Amino acid sequence: MMHRVDVLLDEHGYPIHIGPGAMSNQQLFEPHLSGSQVAVISNETVAPLYLDELLKALGETEVDVFTLPDGERHKTLESYSAIMDFLMAKRHNRSTTLVALGGGVVGDITGFVAATFQRGVGLIQVPTTLLAQVDSAVGGKTAVNHPGGKNMIGAFHQPRCVIADSAVFATLPDREYRAGLAEVLKYGVIADAEFFAWMEAAGDGLLNKNPDTLAWAVRRSCEIKAGVVAQDERETGLRAILNFGHTFGHAIETLTNYRRFLHGEAVAIGMVMAADLSARQGCLPLEDAQRIKTVLQSFELPVCPPAELSDDVLHRAMGMDKKVVDGRLRLVLVEAIGQVAVSEEIDASALNATLNAADALCDG
């Protein structure tokens, strides 16, 4: 079954089409191809799997294809430049449309190229990881990394549409898939207690990648993200709630050199820590913090920080986060499952207790 979610923005709103086979449906692409030129940007892993299918859906259009090497380490200005060189060499003009076929890395780089090539051209996102379908392809954040920090160079540039094909999960490595489930659960925690409870109950349907179960999970996640982005496109306030668990998660990713954990895995740990802190500050019942952890464990995700990361080291790493404003730490705390708030009222002793709770969080 196909689902449609609309991202309602004052200017440049767009549809997200979700369901098995979406990528090969020519009618979904056609309205968003402005000129006669199309460039597909993919990577060496995803292109052999899905490029042919996508090219069929692009019909008679003449398509140039640029294939990136795989991996976060290629999310760089060098890759950005290589794509720019390619578009110049192929004489693409301002009416070209770029199609990003891949996970969040391909989507973020392609998005940044689309934001800046000739001051901005059309972009269609065809996300092929669960994380990209529920998060990175939606909302218009684009970026590449700087050696000094992740996503440090970027722009807001909304796509013309997002085509989220649920059939692509068949080839997605299990670990990548489960990391995406962490982001899906995040939407339940921040905005929808019923969706959270549905995920608690869906268990095997999700782990077995049942296509209908997944199409629904992606749809509900996109509805929630679209609702937040529609209210705060440029992250002046509310949009920060999408970063629930991310301040702890980023600290853990940084301290483990982005090697030990996938982003969604670090976010899973971060969500457990943020819920633990919320409970310690008295705003969330302990049993609700436990529920969040239990679901993440059922997805076989990590739920506690590596024991060797001391509270000092974690605290310092959290201080480096982009969400720190004027030296004050702001965190997304849970008030109830389905409701969160961005808070600067962080109790230092509660935070220290959470940062020291690796053993307790690992247990049970």
Instruction: Examine the residue annotation and report whether 157 is marked as an active-site residue of this protein.
Output: no
Kind and range of the H or E element at 352?
helix 348-355
Residues of the shown chain interacting with ligand GLY in the complex, contacts defined by CB under 6 A? 135, 139, 141, 235, 239, 242-243
Nearer to ligand NAD, 40 or 358 (CB): 40
Nearer to ligand GLY, 139 or 159 (CB): 139
Instruction: Examine the residue annotation and report whether 194 is marked as an active-site residue of this protein.
Output: no
Residues 6+ apart with CB under 8 A from 171: 49
- Closest alpha carbon to 151 in 256, 47, 243: 243
Alpha-carbon distance of 216 to 166, in angstroms, equals 10
Instruction: Examine the residue annotation and report whether 260 is marked as an active-site residue of this protein.
Output: no
Binding ligand NAD (rule: CB under 6 A), the pick from 19, 108, 115, 270 is: 108
Nearer to ligand NAD, 183 or 192 (CB): 183
Which of the choices ligand GLY, ligand NAD, none does residue 3 contact, using the CB cut-off of 5 to 8 A by kind? none
Instruction: Examine the residue annotation and report whether 209 is marked as an active-site residue of this protein.
Output: no
Tell me which residues in 28-57 interact with ligand NAD (CB under 6 A).
43, 45-46, 49
- What are the distances in angstroms from CA 69 to CA 43, 125, 187, 362? 6, 18, 31, 36
Residues 6+ apart with CB under 8 A from 49: 128, 168, 171
Nearer to ligand NAD, 50 or 195 (CB): 50
Active-site residue, selected from the candidate residues 17, 157, 219, 246: 246
Distance in Å, CB of 215 to ligand NAD, minimum: 15
Alpha-carbon distance of 345 to 329, in angstroms, equals 9
266 makes contact with ligand NAD (CB under 6 A): no
Tokens of 1: 């079954």
176 makes contact with ligand NAD (CB under 6 A): yes
Give me the sheet containing 3-7, strands edge to edge. Answer: 3-7, 14-19, 161-165, 122-127, 97-102, 37-43, 62-68
Instruction: Examine the residue annotation and report whether 259 is marked as an active-site residue of this protein.
Output: no
Instruction: Examine the residue annotation and report whether 219 is marked as an active-site residue of this protein.
Output: no
Active-site residue, selected from the candidate residues 3, 75, 160, 250: 250
What does the buried/exposed string (b/e) look like for 202-229 if buried means 16 or more CB atoms within 10 Å of the residue's CB? beebbbeebbebbbbbbbbbbbbbbbbb
Kind and range of the H or E element at 40?
strand 37-43
Distance in Å, CB of 266 to ligand NAD, minimum: 11
77 makes contact with ligand NAD (CB under 6 A): no
Which of the choices ligand NAD, ligand GLY, none does residue 105 contact, using the CB cut-off of 5 to 8 A by kind? ligand NAD
Active-site residue, selected from the candidate residues 11, 119, 257, 308: 119
Nearer to ligand NAD, 46 or 215 (CB): 46
Tokens of 170: 């068949």
What does the buried/exposed string (b/e) look like for 309-324 if buried means 16 or more CB atoms within 10 Å of the residue's CB? bebeebeebbeebebe
User: Residue numbers of the site for ligand NAD (CB under 6 A)?
Assistant: 43, 45-46, 49, 70, 72, 75, 102-106, 108, 128-129, 131-132, 135-136, 139, 141, 151, 168, 171-172, 176, 263
